[in-house]
Amino acid sequence: MVSGVVSVGEQAPDFEAESTGGVFRLSSLRGRRVVLFFFPKAFTPGCSRELSEFSELYEEFKRLGAEVVGVSADKVNTLRKFAKRYNAAFNLVSDPSLEVAGKYGVVGRSGKTAERVTFVIDEQGVVRAVLRDLPRAEDHPHAALEALKSLAGQQP
């Protein structure tokens, strides 16, 4: 486990876990930008609005060369239902042991869920933005898009 949240400029910790699309490994996306968002619990109001917004903006993320991946402590079957309800065409990773959340330093205070934190990761696997403490859950997708757009001017 990492003490504290993974910071801008650090290598994003790799992980492998079960997801809505089968076994998922973060390093399999090397060479692409990644928006990795942690959320507390499927089907809660804030998480539902956040997933809905990520789903609506997914094509824009893809146009910017980014893949979106969500992570929560929910079981994969719950995440499949959640993804279906909100038309999420991207992977949702099941992290019931909070091992992945621990690697990123985003285990919630209760120790049973992840905090709502979004990481924008570049093609080399380096964290370029950490988004947390935003006013609303649905602000995360928009803030991630802005971070990606600013990266577009900095990298080839």
The full set of domain ranges for the chain reads 16-152
- The string of DSSP letters for the chain reads --SSPPPTTSBPPP-EEEETTEEEEGGGGTTSEEEEEE-S-TTSHHHHHHHHHHHHTHHHHHHTTEEEEEEESS-HHHHHHHHHHTT--SEEEE-TT-HHHHHHT-B-TTSSSB--EEEEE-TTSBEEEEEES-SSTTHHHHHHHHHHHHHHTT--
pLDDT at 151: 84
Tell me what pLDDT residue 155 has.
Answer: 47
Segment 10-22 mean pLDDT: 97
Q: Catalytic residue positions? A: 47
Look up the CATH superfamily of 16-152: Glutaredoxin (3.40.30.10)
- Mean pLDDT, the chain, rounded, equals 94
